[in-house]
Amino acid sequence: MTLTHYLVLAAILFAIGATTVLLRRNAIIVFMGVELMLNSTNLLLVTFARMHGDLTGQVLAFFVMVVAAAEVVVGLGIIVSIFRTRRSASVDDVNLLKS
Rounded CA separation 88/43 (Å)? 33
8 forms part of the interface with other proteins (CB under 8 A): yes
Query: Looking only at residues 64 through 83 of this chain, which bind other proteins when binding is defined by CB under 8 A?
Result: 65-74, 76-81, 83
Least distance from C-beta 34 to other proteins, angstroms?
Answer: 10
User: How many binding residues for other proteins (CB under 8 A)?
Assistant: 79
Least distance from C-beta 50 to other proteins, angstroms?
Answer: 5
The closest alpha carbon to 56, from 66, 45, 64, 67, belongs to 45
Query: Looking only at residues 48 through 67 of this chain, which bind other proteins when binding is defined by CB under 8 A?
Result: 49-56, 58-59, 61-63, 65-67
Whether the Cβ atoms of residue 40 and residue 11 lie closer than 8 Å to each other: yes
41 forms part of the interface with other proteins (CB under 8 A): no
Cα atoms in the 13 Å half-sphere on the side-chain side of 20: 18
